[in-house]
Amino acid sequence: MAAARIVIVSPALADANNGNWQTARRWQLLLRPLDARIVRQWPDAQASDADQLMLALHALRSADSIRAWAERTSLRAAAPNLVVVLTGTDLYGDIGQGSAAMQSLHRAARLVVLQARGLDALPVELQTKTRVILQSSTARKTLTKTAQRVRAVMVGHLRAVKDPQTLWAAARLLAADDGLRVDHIGQALEPALGDQARATQAVAPHFRWLGGQPHEAVRRRIQRAHVLVHSSRIEGGAHVIMEALRSGTSVLASRIDGNVGMLGEDYAGYFEAGDAAALAALLQRFARGLRRAAGTPQDPDAQWVALLTRQCAERAALFAPQAERAALLALVRELLPPSICAGQNQASAPPQNRH
């Protein structure tokens, strides 16, 4: 194989434990045997002529690296061998403000969005060079869960765009006899939100804020939960949704483009963004449906829970590592010479996590 390196630019590294880092690390593994390295900023101390392809996550936060790559490789508007991967804040905020984010999009040879509705957020003239690559997660065994106490979990650092306030307001509306326990995992990146989480915990004994957790611990909690809540207002393609689907855990999600692009137009588990009463009602309905499923499977709530379970199982295969790897390698083949890509098909299967 010809000597070449792929540079993955990520504004967040392992210490952040967020979606950008998870994507960067997973792509590094999926691209084997090609040599891919992850950097926060390019050029760096290891930069050389061997760097032949850049995959830059986040059009705005990686704008300096994108500009440097374009200036090195091309005098044209679009630099060859440059891919920009758009996040939620890119798609649904930054690019609409005439900022450096839009310049990044025009400099790229290819753009990547992480869910099907991402294309709709782009100007028409940029859609032809855009590829949809669904992210992936390893599968975990679907656990048998008692319906006596229904566990809901939300995963997301405490930031305004994730809208944790909707979960907290919903938790305050739940009664003790609803039989629900709600856990929230995530660091308080905005200190005032940490104060609000603690205040909710003080008045809602069935709610717990667990703070930040290692990724493996997060995956186990998602696997054990009956339902994942995702209340985000802006989302490019949430890791936690696919991790829930790949663990046999149902999802209740805000009806925003980033979630609809992953779960599908007809998914039955949406609530309107910011509507805490609707979320609380869905959580209560979910708990009732689980309890009634065994004795009265024709009950409307039981049938609704069964529908959610079926829809999640049907979507889960879309987020398999093999599917993401095939789409990623197809993109690489578009931009790198065949001599460099030779041997990719003989690469080992994507690594699997423990179930």
Quick one: pLDDT band at residue 338, thresholds 50, 70, 90? confident
Predicted confidence (pLDDT) per residue in 266-285, tens digit? 999 999 999 999 999 999 99
CATH number at residue 13: 3.40.50
Q: What is the mean pLDDT of residues 208-237?
A: 95
Predicted confidence (pLDDT) per residue in 57-107, tens digit? 999 999 999 999 999 876 666 778 999 999 888 888 888 776 888 999 999
Shared domain for 46 and 155, answered yes or no, is no
Shared domain for 187 and 335, answered yes or no, is no
Shared domain for 311 and 332, answered yes or no, is no
Shared domain for 96 and 182, answered yes or no, is no
**Residue 278 in domain:** yes
Shared domain for 187 and 131, answered yes or no, is no
Shared domain for 73 and 202, answered yes or no, is no
Give residue 83's domain range: 5-135+320-346
Residue 17 has pLDDT above 90, yes or no: no
CA atoms within 13 A on the CB side of 239: 20
- Residue 231, SS3? coil
- Minimum mean pLDDT among 19-28, 154-163, 228-237, 317-326: which range? 19-28
Shared domain for 125 and 15, answered yes or no, is yes
Tell me how far CA of residue 145 lies from CA of 100, 151, 224, 230, in angstroms: 48, 9, 7, 20
Shared domain for 62 and 112, answered yes or no, is yes
- Prior bond to 43 cis, omega within 30? yes
Please count the structural domains in the chain: 2
In this prediction, residue 203 carries a pLDDT of: 96
Give dist(CA 107, CA 158) in Å, integer. Answer: 33
Residue 255 has pLDDT above 90, yes or no: yes
In this prediction, residue 148 carries a pLDDT of: 85
Shared domain for 120 and 177, answered yes or no, is no
**Residue 354 in domain:** no
Residue 191 has pLDDT above 70, yes or no: yes
DSSP 8-state class, residue 15: T
- Minimum mean pLDDT among 48-62, 96-110, 131-145, 197-211: which range? 96-110
